[in-house]
Amino acid sequence: MAEHSLPILVVEDDPSLREAIGDTLELAGRPYVAVDGGEAALKVLGEQAFSIVVSDVRMMPMDGIALLKEIRSRLPHLPVVLMTAYAEVEKAVDAMRSGACDFLLKPFEPKALLAHINKYELPDSDDGAGVVAIDPASRDLFAIAQRVAQTDATVLLTGESGVGKEVVARFIHRQSARRNGPFVAINCAAIPDSLLEATLFGYEKGAFTGAQQAQAGKFEQAQDGTLLLDEVTEMPMGLQAKLLRVLQEREVERVGGKKPVALNIRIVATSNRDMAEAVAKGVFREDLYYRLNVFPVAIPPLRDRPLDIVPIARYFLVEHGGRFGRSGVSFGAQAEQALLRHTWPGNVRELENVIQRALILSTGPEIGGEHLNLASAPGRESPKVVAEMPVHESDKKVDNMKDLEREHILRTLAEVDGSRKMAIERLGISERTLRYKLQQYRDEGYFKD
């Protein structure tokens, strides 16, 4: 079983029973906080995150039902199990209507208590797979994701670039009945239009020049598992029609093939654009939008879940510290305050980049605010300003062709006063490619809109 970092909140006004429940949890290796009433419970719920609440019903002055209703209004997806010595039908009906997960009838065995907690508790670390959900907004998000994971419904994840849409998609896969099947991801914006169809649907030998042997596409590779269509709004209109047919018929036909292959997969799609707006502009099919939008999940930006910022930063510090040979490095108080003050326009992806830079800049066991370099971090200037900065040959820090390409694109865009139409003519690339490149640079913190 995964190690649980978030505590369980126990609400019980009987000191003896409160102590007994605490002993049970402690013996099971479970962290907990125990309070003697509803008002104390609401106070600590406002101060820290919990994985589940286990509360008595008969308490004064605020009983368990009133506490439950307050929790539902503040933290709608936090599981609550109620304990009662009175099997009253009215109480049970009222509690279930108010959102209780279940009842635990007193007296109960320790194993019954632990069974209820394990059944309803929100996941913490997802077996160390990179899920950090401390802020109530994130707890709600992953509670919703866990619920939809139990079904085979198509999920549409939306949110700004860098919020962690693929992390949520992988979480849904791992929590589903398909967890033992493959998780296959394809970025619809990163693959040239001419290759995207063959990559998605596969091809038969001789289907086109260079097709020397048959190749299964991403749909077939995801058989019995989950397929992530990342940035699906960047898919060309012509290919959208073919995708719609695959989703409707639940079968795929390879390029150059004649025999359809039946599919047993779960689809998760993502977009950082307003999909309704994309439909209105005619760049995304309305029928495909409704086919994908079965269960929409909006992922809040990092600035709207501030309690996650430092824990996620610590996660990256451990992950990249090990890679960089800097294990054991920690944040100083000033660094953590700086992290909390920053608005994170690039979201989690920007945070990860900042932590990697800090690990390179710092030399001691502690990362200070000066190592984060947030005040002068790239991303505070428009492309035009960046391009107008005097660049001398000796000042250039072009490490590879990717840096040179970025500098050329941003300078060209500045020279045409931000006109994408004129920029693509000068650069000789498609509008889709330019849009993808600019999104990359925005995510990496080189500029913001």
User: Does 326 share its domain with 285?
Assistant: no
Q: How far is CA 350 from CA 46, 295, 390, 420, in A?
A: 28, 28, 26, 25
Q: Which two tokens stand for residue 314?
A: 């610590």
- Asked, for residue 3, whether it belongs to a domain, the answer is no
430: phi then psi, degrees, rounded to nearest 5 = -80, 160
Which residue, of 319, 340, 372, is where some domain finishes?
372
- Tell me, yes or no, whether 449 lies in a domain: no
Tell me the backbone φ, ψ of residue 342, rounded to 5 degrees: -70, 145
Do 395 and 416 belong to one domain? yes
Same domain assignment for residues 355 and 288: no
Beta strand pairing call for 261-262 and 215-216: unpaired
**Co-location of 326 and 264 in the same domain:** no
Helix 15-27 to helix 110-120 angle (10° resolution) is: 70
> Token digits for 377?
């971090």
Q: Do 143 and 289 sit in the same domain of this protein?
A: yes
Closest CA to 311 of 138, 86, 192: 138
On whether both 311 and 293 belong to a single domain, the answer is no
Residue 233 belongs to a domain = yes
Q: Which CATH number belongs to the domain containing residue 252 in this structure? A: 3.40.50.300
Amino acid (1-letter code) at residue 278: A
Q: Is the peptide bond before 61 cis (omega within 30 degrees of 0)?
A: yes
- Does residue 125 lie within any of the structural domains? no
Digitized pLDDT (tens) for each residue of the chain, 449 residues in all: 233 457 899 999 999 999 999 999 999 888 999 999 999 999 988 777 788 899 998 898 998 889 998 887 777 667 888 888 755 556 666 666 667 777 888 888 898 898 888 777 665 544 435 677 878 788 889 888 988 998 999 999 999 999 999 999 999 998 899 999 999 999 998 888 878 888 899 888 876 777 677 788 899 999 999 999 999 999 999 899 999 999 999 999 888 888 889 999 999 999 999 999 999 999 999 999 999 999 999 999 999 999 889 888 988 888 888 888 888 888 998 999 999 999 999 999 999 999 999 999 998 889 999 999 885 444 433 333 333 333 333 333 334 556 667 777 888 888 777 888 888 777 767 777 788 778 877 777 766 55
Look at residues 351, 372, 393 and tell me which one is the last residue of a structural domain. 372
What are the φ and ψ backbone dihedral angles of 301, each rounded to 5 degrees?
Answer: -65, 160
The span from the CA of 39 to the CA of 62, in Å, is 7
Determine the Cα–Cα distance for residues 283 and 124; give it in Å rounded to an integer: 39
Last residue of a domain, one of 91, 120, 149: 120
Range of the domain at 329: 302-372
Instruction: Compute the distance between CA of residue 82 and CA of residue 283 in angstroms, rounded to an integer.
Output: 50
What distances in angstroms separate CA 441 from CA 77, 226, 372, 402, 410, one per listed residue? 36, 29, 19, 11, 9
- For residues 17 and 80, state if they share a domain: yes
> For position 63, which CATH number holds?
3.40.50.2300
Count up the domains in the chain and report the number.
Answer: 4
Could you tell me if residue 163 is inside a domain? yes
**CA-to-CA separations, 96 to 13, 37, 70, 101, 196, in angstroms, rounded:** 22, 20, 14, 7, 49
In a domain, 327, yes or no: yes
Q: Are residues 333 and 291 both part of a single domain?
A: no
In a domain, 2, yes or no: no
- Residues 249 and 263 both lie in one domain: yes
Residues 293 and 266 in one domain: yes
131, part of any domain: no
275 lies in the same domain as 185: yes
User: Of how many residues is the chain composed?
Assistant: 449
Q: 244 and 360: one domain?
A: no
